[in-house]
Structure 1
């Protein structure tokens, strides 16, 4: 009987950021998942929120398994070319593993996976460096949403405020952020205080592999070639 490619030993000693044992363990877990689950997806994410993603993983715990490990190690696990892939067609999956991407192994029907990913959307407060989706400007006058104890803190965020008979008051119009420009730490903090959420945590499916077929979901990605795969 031919020896299974999944049992092939892989040397990962050249990489130093994480221990060799961790990398070899990740390789083995991914290769075992190829055998244990019906299909494999690569997905990408924007505005990742760890707590929300943990909740999403828990919902699929009984039928699926996620991997957000080192991309190069995940590529090695699946195979980066037709000559070293562990199952036919898996090297095509490796070509999508770069940037903010991860793996999902699952036994769920394709239609259900697509529906869950399309429906997943979690608004949240934008972080420093995020691009403002709109201009936010506060007009001169009282800011009754803030208590008087917050006046010193608001001044530290650059807001031209003062106390007027115990009420926080803007002494002039103030632009919190401009549409299309990165948020400063102060702007991000003020938006949070105002309750304005400019970030949305989303997940996007890129491709799907199964022993029967391979399909790409995102338009324009079909043209990815072997040179796009990260070198190990």
Structure 2
């Protein structure tokens, strides 16, 4: 029996968007109720379900969204980096997004720092949340969140009111990777969520581009580490235009 989208919605709400628990409910054919829901959503059985997510090892059962869902059909480039980033990294984000936005939808995680700056500069952008579709986190991104609901797209595996728990963010990074035909890393430490996104991209054979870190900059050595291990290096404008 083909699972119905209404059942997936019910399970997602009951289990706060937990992928494994939803999967177990589907497998067990748990009872469900048909309910009205205030936010639009796509499920894995829908015709409009993004093709990009089907390539994931753990494709999301459901995606809640606010904004222009048609952006999921367009070619995206992921822009990621440190939350507590340098001023130079913010300036580099401005330059890179401005060069790429005519050819790509800018995809990022709506976090503070590099993510927020990438969304802010983009004419078309997708933000992937690690919390409920109506939860603004961090609060400093309230203006950006409201703007993207109208002129961009916000997506989440999590239904309303689900809190931004720490383990949600590494998990959501696989969706950023799936929506990215290329990934640009602006600035990163050795151990960070950015590196998790990089690993997800490597699993999907998504090319990685990195902005090199200055000599003797001990805090943000993540990009140099990636470059030394084979990632593409962004030296000047020409390199950006080649993405």
TM-score interval w.r.t. the shorter chain?
A: under 0.3
TM-score (norm 1): 0.27
- Whose radius of gyration is greater, 1 or 2? 1
TM-score (norm 2): 0.27
Q: Which has the higher contact order (CA 8 A, sep 6+)?
A: 1
Judging by fraction of residues, say which structure has more helix. 2
